[in-house]
Chain A
Amino acid sequence: MTTRYLPSQLGQEVTEAIALMAAEGTRGEQRWSPPQLWRELAAGGWTQLADGDQPGADAEVSLFDLCVMAEAWGRALVGLPLLPTLAARRWLTERPDADAAVGLLVPEHGHLLRLYPAQAALVVGAEGTAAVATADPTDGYAPSLPLSIVDTSAGPVAPAGALRDYALLAVAEAVGAADRALQGAVEYAKTRFQFDRPIGSFQAVKHTLADMHRDVELARSGVTWFSNQPEDMAGSAPYVLQLCSSVVERAIQIYGGIGYTWECDLHWSLRHVAQAHRVVSAALGALDGAPALAGSAA
Chain B
Amino acid sequence: MPATTFADPAVAEFRREVTAWLQKAIPTEWRERGDSLPMDEEIEIRRQWDRQLFDAGYAGLSWPEEFGGRGLGVIEDFTFNDVAARMDAPEGLGRVGRLLTGPAIIHHGTPEMCARFLPPILKGEEIWCQGFSEPGAGSDLASLRTRATRDGDVYRIEGQKVWTTYAQFSDWCLLLARTGDKDSRSRGISLMLVPMRQPGVEVRPLINITGTHEFNEVFFDNAETTADMLVGDEDKGWLVSGTILTHERGVGFGAIALNQLHGYIRLFTEHCAAHAPAIAARLPEFTTRVELLRWQMMRSLEKMAGGNPDPRSSTVLKVTWSELVQEIVHVAAYAGCPVHSELYRNRLLFHRASTIVSGTSEIQRNIIGERVLGLPREGSSKS
Contact = CB atoms under 8 A, between A and B. Distances in A.
Given A4-B7, A6-B306, A202-B378, A225 B319 contact: no
A239 B362 CA distance: 25
A211 interface: yes
Contacts of A217: 296, 313, 316
Interface of A: 2-6, 186, 189-191, 196-198, 200-203, 206-207, 209-211, 213-214, 217-222, 224-225, 232, 235-236, 239-240
B292 A221 contact: yes
A201 B6 CA distance: 39
A79 B379 CA distance: 42
Contacts of B284: 235
B145 to A, nearest CB: 26
B383 A198 contact: yes
A60 to B, nearest CB: 18
A210 B373 contact: yes
B370 interface: yes
Contacts of B313: 217
Given A200-B369, A207-B369, A5 B320 contact: no
B292 A240 contact: yes
A201 B376 contact: yes
A5 B298 contact: yes
A98 to B, nearest CB: 33
B365 interface: yes
A214 B302 CA distance: 18
A6 B5 CA distance: 9
Given A197-B379, A200-B383, A203-B362, 12 more contacts: A5-B298, A6-B299, A6-B303, A186-B373, A189-B375, A197-B380, A198-B375, A198-B380, A201-B379, A207-B362, A221-B295, A235-B287
Interface residues of B, number: 41
B10 interface: no
Contact of B376 (A198, A220, A225): A198
B295 A224 contact: yes
Contacts of A4: 7
Contact of A218 (B292, B369, B377): B292
Contact of A3 (B6, B285, B362): B6
Interface string B315-332: 010011000000000000
A94 to B, nearest CB: 34
A213 B372 contact: yes
Nearest to B296: A221
A191 B383 contact: yes
Nearest to B373: A186
A214 B378 contact: no
Given A6-B302, A214-B319, A236 B375 contact: no
A210 B302 contact: no
Contacts of B288: 235-236, 239-240
B85 to A, nearest CB: 20
A225 B292 contact: yes
Given A190-B375, A198-B380, A213 B368 contact: yes
Contacts of A219: 292
Given A6-B303, A197-B380, A198-B380, A206 B375 contact: yes
B212 interface: no
Contacts of B383: 190-191, 198, 200
